[in-house]
Amino acid sequence: MRSGILSALRAQDGYVSGQELCERFGVTRAAIWKGIRQLKEEGYEIEAVPNRGYRLLACPDTVSGEELASRMHTAWAGQNLIYLEQVDSTNNYVKRLAEDGAPHGTLAVADFQTGGKGRRGRTWVTAPGTTIAMSILVRPQIRPEKVSMLTLVTGMAAARAVQEVTGLDIKIKWPNDLVLNGKKLSGTLTELSTDLDGVHYVVIGTGINANIRAFPEEISAIATSLQMELGRPVDRGAIICACMEIFEKYYERFMETQDMSLLLEEYEKLLANKDREVRVLEPGNEHNGIARGIDANGQLLVERADGQIEKVYAGEVSVRGLYQYC
């Protein structure tokens, strides 16, 4: 009920009467007051005025289940929401839920990860209260070779969500890393379960450097955070909920065609690599070219020195002048 009370308070600029809350939730005034008291204990500043009701004055920086549920305006993405104060990895956690039959759209959000996953088996550890760490479960009826495009879809949603909440000019380094002022801000990792019958489920994990104040010296030249760029903390809950709303729309467009054709123009507006020199890292065949965008299958189109266009599907692409760590 606390998430419902929060939703009701957020929806009003002024006061919400206790009687209105009682009627909405079918409970007593004592139950409403208990919910208000619990919210205050969690850091919400709520004004109570006799004969007028309750008014929300301020919210803590929290990604609690009640906070997120009160702000989640989606049909299915994030509607089955699990908040974790600490977890090894949100991807691992959601995979376990998926094996137990969790529904499409299940979202896990953690305040602290002890063993978050990065590319090539790297670990990604987040300090409490500083980052966005979330994983969503989807159960698409598609062929396994199409799953990699969901990484692009998620990167787009994260970029647009951060833009919407902060106003920052976020770009994407193909295929899914978010970049800002030449530094990495976010990454996405997609894992799937499949067999000869097709895809059972896909887990897509996203980590965003939100309220980190500084990075270790060894990565300070290549990583940034939203707080460092803005000079103030950001509302992590607002970004998470915006990301789910946008992801839901992009996912449904993707599923219409099961490729990037309906999202291609939107993706290329965000593509930091577009018309820039990149280096394609293939074992025994490293070479440079100019990135010209992506095709409907999410492959990067690279123009080689002889004018031929190659399609890069797998492998890492470094971007000169953008990523110093590449």
Q: What does pLDDT average to over the chain?
A: 88
Q: What percentage of the chain has pLDDT greater than the value 70? A: 91
The tally of domains found in the chain comes to 3
Whole-angstrom distance, CA of residue 26 vs CA of residue 24: 6
Whether 134 is covered by a domain: the verdict is: yes
223 within 8 A of 180, measured Cβ to Cβ = no
pLDDT band at 29; cut points 50, 70, 90: confident
Whole-angstrom distance, CA of residue 288 vs CA of residue 306: 11
Whole-angstrom distance, CA of residue 59 vs CA of residue 199: 41
Whether 324 is covered by a domain: the verdict is: no
pLDDT at 251: 98
pTM comes to: 0.81
- 144, 261: one domain: yes
98 within 8 A of 136, measured Cβ to Cβ = no
First to last CA, the chain: 49
- 195, 281: one domain: no
Question: What would the mean pLDDT of 153-158 be, rounded to a whole number?
Answer: 97
> Which residue has 């965000």 as its token pair?
270
Tell which residue, 115, 111, 109, has the closest CA to residue 129: 111
Whole-angstrom distance, CA of residue 81 vs CA of residue 97: 12
CA angle 161, 165, 166 (to 5 degrees): 115
240-251: b or e for each residue (b if 16 or more CB lie within 10 Å)?
Answer: bbbbbbbbbebb
Output the domain CATH number for residue 7. Answer: 1.10.10.10
- 43, 187: one domain: no
Tens digits of per-residue pLDDT, 102-117?
Answer: 999 999 999 888 865 5
- 111, 11: one domain: no
Is residue 12's pLDDT more than 90? no
Residue at a domain's end among 270, 287, 307: 270
Residue at a domain's end among 251, 270, 289: 270
102 within 8 A of 80, measured Cβ to Cβ = yes
Tens digits of per-residue pLDDT, 91-102?
Answer: 999 999 999 999
Is residue 320's pLDDT more than 90? no
Tens digits of per-residue pLDDT, 283-299?
Answer: 777 888 999 999 999 99
DSSP SS3 for 184: strand
pLDDT at 124: 56
Q: Which domain holds residue 304?
A: 277-319
Residue at a domain's end among 41, 58, 75: 58
pLDDT at 326: 41
Residues 6+ apart with CB under 8 A from 287: 279, 280, 304
| Edge-to-edge strand ranges of the sheet holding 183-195 | 81-84, 107-110, 131-138, 198-209, 183-195, 177-180, 171-173
79 versus 280: which is more confidently predicted?
A: 79
Whole-angstrom distance, CA of residue 17 vs CA of residue 124: 45
